[in-house]
Amino acid sequence: MKRRIPLRKRLLVRLLFASALIAVCSVAATTWLAVETTTRALREEQGQDLADDLRILARLSGYAATHPDWKGVEPLVTDLAERTGRRIALTTTDRTLIADSARKGTALPLGAAATVDPLHTDTYTQPGAQLSGVDPRAVGPYRITANERSRLDAIAEKLRTCHARYSVDVRIEHTPSGRPVLLASDGSDGTDSLSEECGYGLNAPVPTERTAIDALTRAARTCLQRHDQRLEAPLYLYLNPSGRNPQSRYIVAKYAKEGDEQPLKTAQSCADSALRAQLDPYVAPVADLYLGGDDTTPPRFDMSPANKAKIIGVVGLVLAVTVAVTAVVATRLVRPLRALTEAAQQPPELHVRVPVTTRDETGILAEAFNDLTERRERIEAQRKAMVSDIAHELRSPLTNIRGWLEVTRDGVVDPDPALLGSLHEEAMVLQRVIDDLQDLAAADAGTLRLHPEPVRADDLLDQVAAAHRVAAAGAGVTLRTETDGSPWLDADPVRMRQALGNLVSNALRHTPAGGTVTLAAHRNGDEVVFTVSDTGTGIAPQDLPHVFERFWRAEKSRSRRTGGSGLGLPIVRHLVTAHRGTITAASEPGTGAVFTIRLPGSGAPQE
């Protein structure tokens, strides 16, 4: 009977579940990792792009602050594009192209990223631009001459030496105009503390600066007059060269009334306007900056070492989980298979069995292996018994024949008819055993020949009963036949008489004197049913499954009178199977046994 396995216990379902679990974990981990690393990488790239954009804007603003026009900016644009991997384009305010790192004819982005105007800069990468909005590198008329720079450098060196005597460490740096300044090690102004003690100063403007400041002052006063601003004292603008931040080149002198800030704001605004007007001839015109990518710019997206480490870590984790789950599942699957392999490799005579520990396909396989081992053990026992039985069946008649022949040869007895009859009977026993074995061998090899023809069931019963009438009478058993009509079947009459005859012989052997053996036949639908019943001792329930096994006897004695050869019923089963029929045995101890043969029926032949 085929055993049904619960769905959750099936090997296929467990493998699918394990695979699905691994796939879900892998997809989840991969998704999380992709989102995490991509988000981080995009943020990093956006931050890098922002830093690059500010650097580009600062470099171009510096170029504009130090050049009166945009001629010669092309090499700078190309260099910045190669360094940052960005497309850089400069145009005038009416979108006339000044310089472009992309191929000629490439369309500009929809909107400008920034405006390059050193007088109104929006970059805060240069210190000091936050106060006035003017790029500190735009110096214009404030750039000192070489002689003035040499003179100021000499003063700065004397101041540095003087500071060193007081153990104050300062260094000399130059502003965009060329003026030197002293800075302390922390970057603060290093000129205030000891300048008076050293007897030198760098704050006084040189003639070039004085000329520019005077012009700035006049322009600022003109602006204040237009705003009708009256100050209590004249407006003075002066350079503040001591600070590092060059945007602090001038300061508005505050002469307004105490607490009144509006005149000061107006003065500062006029000073800023005057400064932009003063620097305008020295800087490049306002330009629009376009940033972006094109088909020639390679993508700059790249995994950072941290993201690569995360990918490797997650991949390793998923791999470890996969290996662990696979190892657990595989171990549970392989363990019973390994036990089966080890059991199968044991010597056959040990008949080793394996424990059944699961309820899945592997457990059923183990049960089938144990059943096979049990059947093999039983068959091996039957084989040994069969060899012993064949030897016994052949030894007894051969011993009798040999003994009588030897005494006859020695002249002890005369070969009279009685002796010859006894020898003939023993030879017939040998012939029957050999014929039975030959029939079984032919059935096993599939070479059992049948010659079917239309046969009447009642004729078969009459012929079998006539053949065994003398044996039945000698045993004191009544042999009778019963038929219901005249059913026909296609069968080999010789083989069918042999099969029914074996059943009758078996029934007569187990029916005591005074008993009855009945042969019956009737039609049941499309089948013809033969029954051979007796009123003998019957068969025990535990013996019924074995009655068709070779050399099996319900009585364990070796007597042919009570046990026969043990080959008759196996031959009957093979003959019935060859006719595409079935045979069954039923019995109750003490009430006899019934053997039932079912064969396909047929209609009566046409005359």
**430-440 confidence digits (pLDDT tens):** 777 777 777 76
Q: Which domain holds residue 316?
A: 1-121+286-343
- Are residues 263 and 232 both part of a single domain? yes
User: Tokens 């932009």 identify what position?
Assistant: 276
Lowest-pLDDT range, 81-90, 199-208, 574-583?
Answer: 199-208
Concatenated DSSP letters of 30-79: HHHHHHHHHHHHHHHHHHHHHHHHHHHHHHHHHHHHH-SSSTT-HHHHHH
Answer whether residue 607 is part of any domain. Answer: no
In this prediction, residue 269 carries a pLDDT of 80
Is the distance from CB of 52 to CB of 86 less than 8 angstroms? yes
Is 80 within the bounds of a domain? yes
Q: Same domain for 198 and 297?
A: no
172 and 270 both lie in a single domain: yes
β-strand 287-292 against 87-91: which pairing, if any? antiparallel
- Give the tens place of pLDDT for each residue, 198-219: 766 677 788 998 888 888 888 8
Q: Following DSSP, what letter does each residue of 296-322 receive, concatenated?
A: TSPP-----HHHHHHHHHHHHHHHHHH
- Rounded CA separation 104/294 (Å): 12
- 19: pLDDT strictly greater than 80: no
Dump pLDDT digits (tens) for 437-496: 777 677 667 777 788 899 999 999 999 999 889 889 989 999 999 998 889 999 988 888
Structural domain ending residue among the three candidates 327, 343, 359: 343
CB 215 within 8 A of CB 279: no
Same domain (yes/no): 104, 163: no
Beta bridge partners of 415: none
CA distances from 546 to 368, 378, 413, 466, 540 (A): 21, 11, 45, 30, 11
Instruction: Please say if the pLDDT value at position 595 is more than 90.
Output: yes
Residue whose C-alpha is closest to residue 52's, from 73, 21, 70, 79: 79
For the stretch 258-315, pLDDT in tens is 455 677 777 778 888 888 888 899 999 999 999 876 544 444 445 567 766 776 777 7
- Residue found by looking up tokens 């078969």 in the block: 460
Q: Which of 378, 432, 391, 399 shows the shortest CA–CA distance to 567? A: 432
* Opening angle at CA 343, ends 337 and 348, nearest 5: 145
- pTM (whole model) above 0.85: no
Q: Specify whether 29 is located in the same domain as 56.
A: yes
Token pair listed for 165: 């005597």
Residues 453, 597 share a domain = yes
Q: What amino acid occupies position 247? A: Q
Distances (CA, A) of 542 to 7, 295, 508: 36, 91, 22
The reply to whether 170 and 217 lie within a common domain is yes
Contact 563, 500 (CB under 8 A): no
